[in-house]
Structure 1
């Protein structure tokens, strides 16, 4: 009998030459959708004890502790990111700790794919697909926000100054990848301020 094997949405796909930035799929990412009341001290304490970090309560923020990152999604929803190999164990511990507490914890690792952009100019490239202003100083490292990207639902996480993760539903992975490859081409590079010559 053949064994089940996991394949990421962009398996075997590589970035074409001539891009202004680096593009790759993040493949070893486990994701847990966590819901509960931020006003419930028992919920906050139980989650913090399991994850080793305080849940971010400020909108559009995140917290990282070791190999675990917690993204704020709404007033009662967070996305827990961890190595894929730890997802099942972490989910089990969360559910055990949250017994009797109004909450929900679900493994959604296969729901989304994550595309990582790295390099100077990522903000300008991302802004070709969204109305979100990434140059206004309000999106520092740690910032996360749901957005419309190239007309689809997406989630943006600013990992570092020049490192960005874009989360999209699995069925839109190739569409998003192709859109990024087109808008990140070196001839399409933009400098938003100052004079610049048109590409030849």
Structure 2
């Protein structure tokens, strides 16, 4: 019997030349979509026992424990991140722990592509495709939120001050990569009005 294999939507693509920042795909990202009631102590406790960390309940926040990250998506939905191989094990443990508890856990690792942006000026570059003010204080490391990016649905995760991950449905991976390849070019670099050097 043949084995299932994963094919990255951006396989074979290298970073375009002349970019002001670094962009690359993270193909080994395992993802579990978790649904449940944050008001249910049994649900929250069972998940914490498996993950080793409590689910974040504050909007647009995330938590980490080792190589596991959990992103808040809504009042009853979280995205659990790990390596692709570990996601299968985590899912099995979650389903066992949540048996009999109103909840849903599904492996969605193949649903999205993850593109990582690194470098100075990534906020300005990203703002070319979204109406969000990514210079606002709320967009600090750990922040995550859904957004419209270049007219498509996307998920943004601020990993560090100059490291951002964008999650898009895999059918839009090439489109997103092409959009970033154009807007992140060194020749397209912009500075905000208040941050420009006016000289002498």
Q: Please confirm whether the aligned pair reaches a TM-score higher than 0.5, indicating the same fold.
A: yes
Q: Which residue of the partner structure matches residue 85 of structure 2?
A: 85
Query: How far does residue 179 in structure 1 lie from its aligned partner after superposition?
Result: 0.1
Task: Determine whether 1:23 maps to 2:23.
Answer: yes
Task: Determine whether 1:112 maps to 2:104.
Answer: no
Output the TM-score relative to the length of structure 1: 0.96
Q: Aligned to 1:44, what secondary structure does the other structure show?
A: helix
Distance 1:195 1:67 in 2: 39
Output the TM-score relative to the length of structure 2: 0.96
Cα distance change of structure 1 residues 194 and 35 upon mapping to structure 2, 3 Å threshold: closer
Deviations 1:52-82 (Å, cap 9, x if unpaired)? 1110000000001100000000000000000
Q: Which residue of the partner structure matches residue 124 of structure 2?
A: 124
What is the Cα-based RMSD across aligned positions, in Å? 1.3
* Pairing 1:139-158 to 2, within 5 Å after superposition: 139-158=139-158
Gaps of 5+ in 1: none
Task: Determine whether 1:169 maps to 2:169.
Answer: yes
Cα distance change of structure 1 residues 194 and 106 upon mapping to structure 2, 3 Å threshold: closer
Query: How far does residue 138 in structure 1 lie from its aligned partner after superposition?
Result: 1.1
* Count of matched residue positions in the alignment of Structure 1 and Structure 2: 197
Query: How far does residue 194 in structure 1 lie from its aligned partner after superposition?
Result: 4.2
Distance 1:78 1:183 in 2: 30
Q: Which residue of the partner structure matches residue 73 of structure 2?
A: 73
Distance 1:104 1:187 in 2: 47
Deviations 1:134-170 (Å, cap 9, x if unpaired)? 0111110000000000000000000001000000000
Q: Aligned to 2:101, what secondary structure does the other structure show?
A: coil
Q: Which residue of the partner structure matches residue 35 of structure 2?
A: 35
Q: Aligned to 1:86, what secondary structure does the other structure show?
A: helix
Q: Aligned to 1:96, what secondary structure does the other structure show?
A: helix
Q: Aligned to 2:11, what secondary structure does the other structure show?
A: coil
Q: Which residue of the partner structure matches residue 133 of structure 1?
A: 133
Task: Determine whether 1:45 maps to 2:51.
Answer: no
Gaps of 5+ in 2: none
Cα distance change of structure 1 residues 4 and 46 upon mapping to structure 2, 3 Å threshold: closer
